[in-house]
Each structure stands twice: as C-alpha cells, then as structure tokens.
Structure 1
Amino acid sequence: MIEQAINRRMGDERFDFRQPRGEEALIPANSITWRIFKNPVSMFVGGITAVILELAEPRVRDGVWHNTTFRTDPMGRLRRTGLAAMVTVYGPRTKAEAMIAGIRGMHGKISGVTEEGFTYNANDVELLNWVQATASYGFLEAYSQLVKPLSSEEKDIFYGESGIPAGLYGAKGSPRSLAEQQALFEAMQPKLKPTDVIDEFLELMLHTPVFPRILRPYQYLLVRAAVQVLPDDTRAHLKLDTRRWQLKRWQRALIRLSGRLADRIVIKASPAVHACQRLGLPDGFLYK
C-alpha cells in the first residue's frame, strides 16, 4: 500500500518538521505554495476536490479505490495523505525526496484492468500528470475561491513552483502554468466518467468524523464546497450539479469567513510553522 511506503519512509506520523535545522524544502519558504498549504480550511476542501477529479478517471479510480484504505479506514487515509502533502511542501528536502521515492516504488507495483477494459500502472506518466494536476487545481482553487482571490499571474507562479516535486513523483508533463492546466483539463474531459465510486467517496467524507460532533454541520458544508470548486462543465459532466451539492449564499459566506480567519491564525503546532522554525524564520512568517 502507498500508505505503508509513506510510514516506512517517515518512521510514523509524528514527523518533526523542525529538523534538521537549516535544511531547505523542495519549494522555497517565500513561495505562494507555502502560503496556500498553511490554510487548513482550503486544504481540506481542495483535497476532496482533487480526489473527485482523480476518481473520475477510470484508471486512477481503480488504482486508488482498490489499493488504498479509503473505504475501510477513511480517517487514517486522510491523515496519511495530508501528511504526505505536508512533507512534500514543508519537509526538509532529503526526507521529502526519500518519501517520494518510496511512494514511486509502491506505485510501480500497482497495476490492473478497469471494468471498462483499460489497463494501467500507477506510474503511467499520463496518470501521474493527472493526479498532480488535480491536486494542484484543488488546493489552488479552494484557496483562491474561499480564502483570498489569486490573480492569473499568481496561479502561473503556483503551477511553476509545483514542477520540482511533480518531477520527483514522475509527473514530467504536469501543468506548469494556468494555461497548461486548462488545456489538460479540456483534453481529459472526454475521459472522465460519472461513477458510483465518487458518490461513495463523498458519503465517506460527509460521515467520517473528521471534526468534533458539534462541528459536523460545518464539515458537511466543506464537502459541498469541494464539489462547488470543480470547474462548472466538469461538475455537470460528472452529474454533481444537483441541488444536494449546492451552497446557499450564507453558507458560502460562512466558509469564506472561516477560511480568511484560518489564514490569519498562527497554528503553533502546524507543519508550516515548524518548517519556518527549522529555517530560522518567525512563526508568523507566512501569516503577514
């Protein structure tokens, strides 16, 4: 399992982003990527958006759904996936490279044939490009739509920053600009399919106790927001443009308010702050 590769490479989930002192990450601290990944609201929303897009591609769908623990241990899967994203962005370079190498090794062992008859290997470049593109799109657009609007130029910079980790993951053709992202999404649209797996995944995200019980209604809103972050044509193509996934105006305003607040509150225990400490930067460096 991919999760096993992550755990082996990092020891366990108590990863220390403060060590070794002074070691740079794959992406520099003054990047747009570091600013975006610090926000827990948009990261949760964007992660769900990305998985929806991944599951819409039949080969990725089978590779993810049959070789991970989404169905049996969704909370554990969320933690491990989130940790891998944090290490990729904030972890010291040597440890991030080791983790990615472990994931690449496990990807090579994941092959199969979809119910539509498509053969795949998890290290197929086209699939890696799609997975990297969906992750970048999800995190970027969730932040831009729900926290702070980003210009086309800032989005270009963000996609350019993704090049180093994407290359290490084997996604040599993942988008390096907003125009490339839009072109890839247009090219992939005919290959995307509505599927019951997406519905099952969204049900898991609605009902897995990610938040305390008192905040469970807020969790429901964030899952709906993740559907709304999808491009309009893709959402319609996947038959997710139903009333169930729509947000009322006050609900969207509430999510935006919480997203903006989360962008200003320095979370001392977060990987973002610990990574800043590793580099000798102030705790509030990313929160200016």
Structure 2
Amino acid sequence: MLTEVREQLGRALFRRVAGPDGPAKRARIHDTPGPRWFGPERPIRTVHGDASMFIGGLTALLLQSLHPLAMAAVAGHSGYRGDPWGRLQRTSTFLAVTTYGTAGDAQQAVDAVRAIHERIRGTTADGVPYHAADPHLLGWVHAAETDSFLRAHERFGAHPLDAAGYDAYVADTARVAEALGVCDPPRDRRELSECLASYRPELRVGPDARATARFLLLRPPLPLPVRPLYGGLAANAVALLPPWARAMLWLPRIPVVEDLTVRPTGQALTRTIRWVMAPPG
C-alpha cells in the first residue's frame, strides 16, 4: 500500500515537472546510446539529479530577478505567469538533456535556446535596450543559477560534495554556459563568487522583480492543500539567498526561526521528494 502511494505521488510530481510526455522524454534522454557531454562520474550529474534542485531552482529565479535587463526579458517574453508549469517543464527538460543526454541531443537543445534568445529584444520601462542573447546578460543568468543549485545541494543534497567536487561542478556548468554564448564563465567556486560580485553594481529591485517574488512566494499556481508544502520549499529558497540579495528583496533573516524550523523543514521536504521520486524496485 505504501509503495503504491509513493509511486502515485512520484508520477504526479514528475508529471508536473517534466510534462505529460515526461516518461518518453526520460527514456530518450537516458537510454539513447552515444557519447555524452558529461560522464556518469561528473559532479553535474550528482547535483542536477538531486531533490535539492526543487529549492535551488526557486532561489535561482529570485536571484536572477535582481538584474533589471534579465527581468525585463523574462517579464516581457517568457509568459511565466500565464504558463508557469510549461516554463518549468521546458527548463527541466533542457537541464536533463544537457546533463544526461547524448552530445547530439544536448547540442540541439542549446541551438534551440540560442535561437529563442536571438529573437528576444526589447526596451525596459526606463528606456534601456536589452537582448537575451547578450553574453554579459547570459553570464548573470548562468552565475545566479549555478550558485543557487550549488548552495542548495551543499545544504540539502543526499550526498554533498567536497570542495574539489563543487569546483568541478562549476567547471561542468561552464561547458553548457559556453555553448549558450557566455564568454569565459567561472570554472571554480572562487571565480563564481567573484563573477556574482562583479554584477552587483548593475542589480536593483524594480516592479517586475517584486512581482516575481510575490508570485513565487505568495501566489504560486498550486492547489490550496499543497501550498503549505510549497511554502516550506520557498522559505528555504529565501534562506539560501546571499544576504545582500535578501536585503534587496526586503526578505530579512530571522536566525532562530530559520535554524530551528525552516532548515529542518527543507531537509524533511527534500527527503520526502527523494523518496516519492525514487524508481520502484
């Protein structure tokens, strides 16, 4: 009975993340023979295959929203509010293909994203032009995502890596970033920290960033019964943000509450997600 419940929950969650054709996508990604960008021993496979990604992904979205040009591109072209699950499914599929798929499929996925980025142009409310294919803007999105995934895995991963392993993870992600058009992405944790710091003078919180935070933290497109569980993930996503980013978003830290309730909740939720999504057997 417990196994049946677990499998039902796992299928429902996987359908949300990967879409209705998720099983077919998974089979193609993992079972198609051929060379891969990353072998089974690479850290990127460990990090991207862990339930901590559910928290790290939310952290990444909050952090990325602090760049006004990146936020303008997302708000104006991604349709994340009208179709948030579709955007999640496209993002999760891209991560899965580039991490685990054949080299040919990974390159096709990158080419498709680059074609979309090339078409996304516009002007912010302040009159500043943006282009989603701008290598500098892509660099911010990549650095914010990599740092968020790394922080989440370090705190909630089933098998946290050592310092050399996380440096190698950053190097692995640089392979994908370069394919997407990022110039000289960071290749270890020190370079990643320096890269994030270099963008800080460009960051600010505008109306779109605040709307994104409200949407992600207060108005998620979820049924009421599961919102408390999502709230636990969201609280931990906030807790993972760098202190300066939290301050910009007006999300203050409450040390005692976070240490005694928020972090244990995140650990329990990631263990539960890991359990329900474990393959039967």
Tell whether the structures are fold-level matches, with TM greater than 0.5: yes
Contact 1:108–1:122 at 8 Å: present in 2 too? yes
Residue 160 of structure 1 is aligned with which of 171, 174, 190?
171
Q: Alpha carbon RMSD of aligned pairs, Å?
A: 2.4
Contact 1:36–1:139 at 8 Å: present in 2 too? yes
Count of aligned pairs: 255
Identity of aligned residues (%): 26
Instruction: Decide which moves more: 199-208 or 259-268.
Output: 259-268
Residue 236 of structure 1 corresponds to 247
Contact 1:156–1:177 at 8 Å: present in 2 too? yes
Residue 82 (str. 1) matches residue 92 (str. 2):
yes
Residue 36 (str. 1) matches residue 14 (str. 2):
no
Amino acid at match of 1:28: G
Residue 226 of structure 1 is aligned with which of 216, 228, 237?
237
Indicate how the Cα distance of structure 1 residues 30 and 45 shifts in structure 2: closer, same or farther if over 3 A, else same.
same
Residue 119 of structure 1 is aligned with which of 129, 132, 139?
129
CA deviations 1:28-55 (Å, max 9, x no partner) are 2111111111123x11211111111221
Contact 2:64–2:140 at 8 Å: present in 1 too? yes
Distance across 2 between alignment mates of 1:121 and 1:13: 31
Residue 36 of structure 2 corresponds to 25
Indicate how the Cα distance of structure 1 residues 266 and 220 shifts in structure 2: closer, same or farther if over 3 A, else same.
closer
Q: Structure 1 residue 209: deviation in Å? A: 4.2
Q: Structure 1 residue 26: deviation in Å? A: 1.9
Contact 2:55–2:234 at 8 Å: present in 1 too? yes
Which SS does the other structure have where 1:56 is aligned?
Answer: coil
Residue 98 of structure 1 corresponds to 108
Residue 156 of structure 2 corresponds to 146
Q: Structure 1 residue 192: deviation in Å? A: 0.9
Residue 193 (str. 1) matches residue 204 (str. 2):
yes
Distance across 1 between alignment mates of 2:221 and 2:81: 14
Distance across 2 between alignment mates of 1:222 and 1:196: 24
Segments of structure 1 that go 5 or more residues without pairing to the other structure are: 1-11, 270-282, 284-288
Question: Which has the larger share of helix?
Answer: 2
Distance across 1 between alignment mates of 2:272 and 2:41: 21
Q: Structure 1 residue 267: deviation in Å? A: 2.4
Contact 2:239–2:253 at 8 Å: present in 1 too? no
Residue 4 of structure 1 corresponds to none
Residue 46 (str. 1) matches residue 78 (str. 2):
no
Which SS does the other structure have where 2:65 is aligned?
Answer: helix
Amino acid at match of 2:118: G
Distance across 1 between alignment mates of 2:278 and 2:46: 13
Indicate how the Cα distance of structure 1 residues 263 and 158 shifts in structure 2: closer, same or farther if over 3 A, else same.
farther
TM-score by length of 2: 0.81
TM-score by length of 1: 0.79
Amino acid at match of 1:208: P
Contact 1:113–1:120 at 8 Å: present in 2 too? yes
Contact 1:194–1:239 at 8 Å: present in 2 too? no
Q: Structure 1 residue 83: deviation in Å? A: 1.7
Segments of structure 2 that go 5 or more residues without pairing to the other structure are: 1-20
Distance across 1 between alignment mates of 2:152 and 2:277: 20
